[in-house]
Protein backbone atom coordinates (compact mmCIF):
# COMPACT_ATOMS: atom_id res chain seq x y z
CA UNK A 1 0.00 0.00 0.00
CA UNK A 2 1.21 3.48 -0.87
CA UNK A 3 2.11 6.27 1.52
CA UNK A 4 -0.52 8.99 1.32
CA UNK A 5 -0.69 12.72 1.65
CA UNK A 6 -3.81 14.52 2.90
CA UNK A 7 -4.75 18.18 2.89
CA UNK A 8 -7.76 20.48 3.09
CA UNK A 9 -8.90 22.04 -0.18
CA UNK A 10 -11.59 24.52 -1.18
CA UNK A 11 -14.10 23.78 -3.93
CA UNK A 12 -16.04 26.71 -5.44
CA UNK A 13 -19.73 25.91 -5.89
CA UNK A 14 -22.73 27.92 -7.05
CA UNK A 15 -23.76 28.28 -3.40
CA UNK A 16 -20.38 29.17 -1.89
CA UNK A 17 -17.05 27.57 -1.13
CA UNK A 18 -17.05 23.97 0.09
CA UNK A 19 -14.19 22.75 2.24
CA UNK A 20 -13.05 19.19 1.59
CA UNK A 21 -10.44 16.66 2.60
CA UNK A 22 -8.22 15.49 -0.27
CA UNK A 23 -5.92 12.49 0.08
CA UNK A 24 -3.77 10.72 -2.50
CA UNK A 25 -0.64 8.61 -2.90
CA UNK A 26 2.37 10.66 -1.90
CA UNK A 27 4.08 10.21 -5.28
CA UNK A 28 2.19 13.26 -6.55
CA UNK A 29 1.14 11.47 -9.74
CA UNK A 30 -2.41 11.39 -11.09
CA UNK A 31 -4.49 8.45 -9.86
CA UNK A 32 -8.09 7.35 -10.48
CA UNK A 33 -10.50 9.60 -8.65
CA UNK A 34 -12.97 8.60 -5.95
CA UNK A 35 -15.61 11.00 -4.67
CA UNK A 36 -16.31 10.01 -1.07
CA UNK A 37 -19.59 11.19 0.47
CA UNK A 38 -19.73 11.58 4.23
CA UNK A 39 -22.25 10.19 6.67
CA UNK A 40 -24.45 12.55 8.68
CA UNK A 41 -21.77 13.13 11.31
CA UNK A 42 -19.58 14.91 8.78
CA UNK A 43 -15.86 15.33 8.22
CA UNK A 44 -13.85 14.19 11.23
CA UNK A 45 -10.71 12.15 11.99
CA UNK A 46 -12.31 8.71 11.47
CA UNK A 47 -13.75 9.64 8.09
CA UNK A 48 -10.45 11.16 7.00
CA UNK A 49 -8.74 7.94 8.06
CA UNK A 50 -11.12 5.91 5.91
CA UNK A 51 -10.27 8.13 2.96
CA UNK A 52 -6.55 7.68 3.65
CA UNK A 53 -6.98 3.90 3.65
CA UNK A 54 -8.69 4.09 0.29
CA UNK A 55 -6.03 6.44 -1.11
CA UNK A 56 -3.32 3.97 -0.05
CA UNK A 57 -4.84 1.52 -2.55
CA UNK A 58 -3.86 3.91 -5.34
CA UNK A 59 -6.67 6.46 -5.61
CA UNK A 60 -7.10 10.21 -5.26
CA UNK A 61 -9.98 10.63 -2.83
CA UNK A 62 -12.06 13.77 -2.30
CA UNK A 63 -14.30 14.03 0.79
CA UNK A 64 -16.39 17.23 0.60
CA UNK A 65 -18.14 18.80 3.54
CA UNK A 66 -21.65 18.58 2.13
CA UNK A 67 -22.91 20.88 4.89
CA UNK A 68 -20.64 23.72 3.73
CA UNK A 69 -23.59 26.11 3.38
CA UNK A 70 -23.72 26.17 7.19
CA UNK A 71 -19.98 26.66 7.57
CA UNK A 72 -16.71 24.71 7.46
CA UNK A 73 -16.34 21.34 9.16
CA UNK A 74 -17.01 20.50 11.88
CA UNK A 75 -20.40 22.13 11.38
CA UNK A 76 -21.68 20.45 14.55
CA UNK A 77 -19.34 19.77 17.44
CA UNK A 78 -19.51 16.08 18.35
CA UNK A 79 -17.80 13.99 21.01
CA UNK A 80 -14.88 11.74 20.09
CA UNK A 81 -17.20 8.76 20.56
CA UNK A 82 -20.65 9.36 19.10
CA UNK A 83 -23.52 7.61 20.90
CA UNK A 84 -26.91 9.09 19.98
CA UNK A 85 -28.90 6.89 22.40
CA UNK A 86 -27.08 8.54 25.28
CA UNK A 87 -27.44 12.04 23.80
CA UNK A 88 -30.59 12.56 21.71
CA UNK A 89 -29.60 16.19 21.09
CA UNK A 90 -27.09 14.95 18.51
CA UNK A 91 -29.84 14.20 16.00
CA UNK A 92 -31.74 17.33 16.96
CA UNK A 93 -28.71 19.24 15.71
CA UNK A 94 -27.91 17.05 12.72
CA UNK A 95 -31.42 16.48 11.38
CA UNK A 96 -31.86 19.96 9.85
CA UNK A 97 -28.47 19.67 8.16
CA UNK A 98 -29.30 16.32 6.58
CA UNK A 99 -32.67 17.57 5.33
CA UNK A 100 -31.06 20.71 3.90
CA UNK A 101 -29.40 18.67 1.12
CA UNK A 102 -32.23 18.67 -1.42
CA UNK A 103 -31.96 16.75 -4.71
CA UNK A 104 -31.38 20.03 -6.53
CA UNK A 105 -28.57 21.03 -4.17
CA UNK A 106 -27.07 17.56 -4.38
CA UNK A 107 -26.91 17.77 -8.18
CA UNK A 108 -25.38 21.25 -8.16
CA UNK A 109 -22.82 20.18 -5.62
CA UNK A 110 -21.92 17.04 -7.57
CA UNK A 111 -21.31 19.28 -10.60
CA UNK A 112 -18.83 21.26 -8.55
CA UNK A 113 -17.07 18.29 -6.94
CA UNK A 114 -16.72 16.36 -10.20
CA UNK A 115 -15.65 19.47 -12.08
CA UNK A 116 -12.95 20.16 -9.49
CA UNK A 117 -11.72 16.59 -9.78
CA UNK A 118 -11.62 16.82 -13.58
CA UNK A 119 -9.34 19.86 -13.29
CA UNK A 120 -7.05 18.45 -10.60
CA UNK A 121 -3.62 17.25 -11.77
CA UNK A 122 -3.81 14.60 -9.04
CA UNK A 123 -6.84 12.90 -10.64
CA UNK A 124 -6.29 10.71 -13.69
CA UNK A 125 -8.24 11.46 -16.84
CA UNK A 126 -11.43 9.53 -17.38
CA UNK A 127 -14.43 8.62 -15.26
CA UNK A 128 -14.44 8.46 -11.48
CA UNK A 129 -16.00 6.29 -8.81
CA UNK A 130 -18.23 7.38 -5.95
CA UNK A 131 -18.75 5.88 -2.52
CA UNK A 132 -21.07 7.03 0.24
CA UNK A 133 -22.10 6.18 3.77
CA UNK A 134 -25.45 6.66 5.49
CA UNK A 135 -26.85 9.82 3.84
CA UNK A 136 -23.80 9.66 1.56
CA UNK A 137 -25.19 6.49 -0.03
CA UNK A 138 -28.17 8.54 -1.22
CA UNK A 139 -25.83 11.16 -2.61
CA UNK A 140 -23.78 8.49 -4.38
CA UNK A 141 -26.91 7.05 -5.99
CA UNK A 142 -28.10 10.49 -7.08
CA UNK A 143 -24.66 11.39 -8.47
CA UNK A 144 -24.55 8.19 -10.53
CA UNK A 145 -27.94 9.10 -11.98
CA UNK A 146 -27.28 12.77 -12.69
CA UNK A 147 -23.72 12.35 -14.02
CA UNK A 148 -23.72 9.09 -16.00
CA UNK A 149 -20.93 10.29 -18.26
CA UNK A 150 -18.57 10.86 -15.34
CA UNK A 151 -19.40 8.10 -12.86
CA UNK A 152 -18.26 4.59 -13.77
CA UNK A 153 -18.95 2.96 -10.41
CA UNK A 154 -20.83 3.88 -7.24
CA UNK A 155 -21.12 2.18 -3.88
CA UNK A 156 -23.39 2.83 -0.91
CA UNK A 157 -23.04 1.42 2.59
CA UNK A 158 -25.70 1.41 5.32
CA UNK A 159 -27.67 3.91 3.27
CA UNK A 160 -31.12 5.01 4.37
CA UNK A 161 -34.19 6.16 2.45
CA UNK A 162 -32.82 4.99 -0.89
CA UNK A 163 -36.20 3.95 -2.27
CA UNK A 164 -39.06 5.78 -0.60
CA UNK A 165 -42.51 6.53 -1.99
CA UNK A 166 -41.64 10.22 -2.34
CA UNK A 167 -41.63 11.71 -5.87
CA UNK A 168 -37.94 12.61 -5.55
CA UNK A 169 -36.71 9.29 -4.14
CA UNK A 170 -33.13 8.48 -5.24
CA UNK A 171 -34.08 5.13 -6.81
CA UNK A 172 -36.23 6.87 -9.42
CA UNK A 173 -33.09 7.91 -11.30
CA UNK A 174 -32.15 4.30 -12.04
CA UNK A 175 -32.97 4.63 -15.73
CA UNK A 176 -30.19 7.19 -16.21
CA UNK A 177 -27.44 5.19 -14.51
CA UNK A 178 -24.64 3.67 -16.58
CA UNK A 179 -22.28 2.93 -13.67
CA UNK A 180 -21.87 -0.41 -11.91
CA UNK A 181 -23.40 -0.17 -8.44
CA UNK A 182 -22.77 -1.97 -5.16
CA UNK A 183 -24.85 -1.70 -1.99
CA UNK A 184 -23.97 -3.11 1.41
CA UNK A 185 -27.21 -2.75 3.35
CA UNK A 186 -27.34 -2.91 7.12
CA UNK A 187 -29.53 -5.73 8.36
CA UNK A 188 -30.68 -3.80 11.43
CA UNK A 189 -31.63 -0.55 9.73
CA UNK A 190 -35.03 1.09 10.23
CA UNK A 191 -34.10 3.73 7.64
CA UNK A 192 -34.00 1.07 4.90
CA UNK A 193 -36.62 -1.60 5.66
CA UNK A 194 -37.05 -4.67 3.47
CA UNK A 195 -39.79 -2.93 1.50
CA UNK A 196 -37.34 -0.25 0.37
CA UNK A 197 -34.64 -2.77 -0.37
CA UNK A 198 -37.04 -4.62 -2.67
CA UNK A 199 -38.14 -1.39 -4.35
CA UNK A 200 -34.53 -0.42 -5.01
CA UNK A 201 -33.69 -3.86 -6.35
CA UNK A 202 -36.71 -3.86 -8.65
CA UNK A 203 -35.88 -0.41 -10.02
CA UNK A 204 -32.25 -1.26 -10.75
CA UNK A 205 -33.15 -4.58 -12.34
CA UNK A 206 -35.86 -3.06 -14.51
CA UNK A 207 -33.43 -0.39 -15.71
CA UNK A 208 -30.75 -2.95 -16.56
CA UNK A 209 -28.24 -1.44 -14.14
CA UNK A 210 -25.26 -3.66 -13.30
CA UNK A 211 -25.47 -3.96 -9.57
CA UNK A 212 -24.94 -6.06 -6.49
CA UNK A 213 -27.01 -5.63 -3.33
CA UNK A 214 -26.04 -7.48 -0.19
CA UNK A 215 -27.52 -7.42 3.30
CA UNK A 216 -24.90 -7.56 6.03
CA UNK A 217 -26.58 -9.86 8.51
CA UNK A 218 -26.66 -8.50 12.04
CA UNK A 219 -24.98 -5.23 11.08
CA UNK A 220 -26.55 -2.01 12.37
CA UNK A 221 -26.96 1.24 10.49
CA UNK A 222 -23.57 2.97 10.64
CA UNK A 223 -21.54 -0.23 10.86
CA UNK A 224 -18.43 1.26 9.19
CA UNK A 225 -18.01 4.10 11.68
CA UNK A 226 -15.63 3.09 14.46
CA UNK A 227 -16.11 6.32 16.39
CA UNK A 228 -19.81 5.55 16.93
CA UNK A 229 -21.84 3.07 18.96
CA UNK A 230 -23.04 1.44 15.71
CA UNK A 231 -19.64 0.09 14.67
CA UNK A 232 -19.29 -3.53 13.59
CA UNK A 233 -15.70 -4.57 12.83
CA UNK A 234 -16.57 -7.61 10.71
CA UNK A 235 -19.05 -5.65 8.61
CA UNK A 236 -16.54 -2.84 8.15
CA UNK A 237 -13.92 -5.24 6.79
CA UNK A 238 -16.50 -6.84 4.51
CA UNK A 239 -17.30 -3.38 3.16
CA UNK A 240 -13.63 -2.75 2.35
CA UNK A 241 -13.39 -6.00 0.44
CA UNK A 242 -16.50 -5.15 -1.58
CA UNK A 243 -15.46 -1.56 -2.28
CA UNK A 244 -11.93 -2.44 -3.32
CA UNK A 245 -13.23 -5.21 -5.58
CA UNK A 246 -15.59 -2.76 -7.29
CA UNK A 247 -12.82 -0.22 -7.79
CA UNK A 248 -10.43 -2.81 -9.19
CA UNK A 249 -13.07 -3.84 -11.72
CA UNK A 250 -13.63 -0.18 -12.64
CA UNK A 251 -10.05 1.02 -12.93
CATH superfamily of the domain spanning 4-250 = Alpha/Beta hydrolase fold, catalytic domain (3.40.50.1820)
> Could you give the angle at which helices 135-146 and 103-119 cross, rounded to 10 degrees?
70
Query: The whole model's pTM is what?
Result: 0.98
Model confidence pLDDT, tens digit, residues 74-117:
999 999 999 999 998 999 999 999 999 999 999 999 999 999 99
User: Mean pLDDT across the chain, nearest whole number?
Assistant: 97
Check residue 31 and give its pLDDT: 98
Model confidence pLDDT, tens digit, residues 111-163:
999 999 999 999 999 999 999 999 999 999 999 999 999 999 999 999 999 99
Measured distance CA(116)–CA(151) in Å, rounded: 14
Amino acid sequence: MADVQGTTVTIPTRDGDADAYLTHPADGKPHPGVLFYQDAYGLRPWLNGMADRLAAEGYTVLVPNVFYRRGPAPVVELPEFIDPPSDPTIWERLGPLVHSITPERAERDADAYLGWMARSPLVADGPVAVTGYCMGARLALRTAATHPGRVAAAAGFHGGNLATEEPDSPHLGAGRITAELYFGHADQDPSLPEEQRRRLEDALTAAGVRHTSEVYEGAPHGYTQKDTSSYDAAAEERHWEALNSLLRRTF
